[in-house]
Amino acid sequence: MLEYQFFDDSLRDRFCALAASLGVACEVHTDEIAGSVVAIPEEIDESAAGELDQFYDALMQEQEVLAGQDQAWVTKRLAGFQVTLGDGLLHTVRLDAVTANRLLGCFTPAEAQQLVEAIARSLENPLDGPLCKTGKT
């Protein structure tokens, strides 16, 4: 299943409505930290997947604007980064509010995503020895 995080119910409902119009089934559950998660099957039509991903990106921009208008959100952000590991499974690395605020205060979301992916790759494929050693001969 592919998962999409929402902190606003109306945005979540709009995403689910588009998915339904594309014939994609959704499962919605409450996230253990905050908001809700919409899960869809991984094996869906490629054009539907692309349309849902583009719509989700647009909704996340709306969500960012809504969050910026809510003082409680501005001071208490949460973050989750999705990483596909070597086994092909998609995992979400969740960060608490303090860590998320510090990370996102210094990095763009794309830069933070790159950092988390680099850490995950390093944990899956550790290199022993000095940092200057690349592992290539």
* pLDDT, tens digit (0-9, with 9 covering 90-100), for 69-93: 665 555 555 677 888 888 888 888 8
Pick the CATH number of 1-74 from 1.20.120, 3.40.50, 3.30.70, 2.60.120: 3.30.70
Q: What value does the mean pLDDT of the chain take?
A: 82
- pTM comes to 0.53
What's the pLDDT score for residue 68?
A: 65
Query: CB count, 10 Å around CB of 81?
Result: 20
Longest dimension (CA), the chain: 54
Domain parsing of the chain, residue ranges: 1-74, 77-126
* Mean pLDDT along residues 114-125: 88
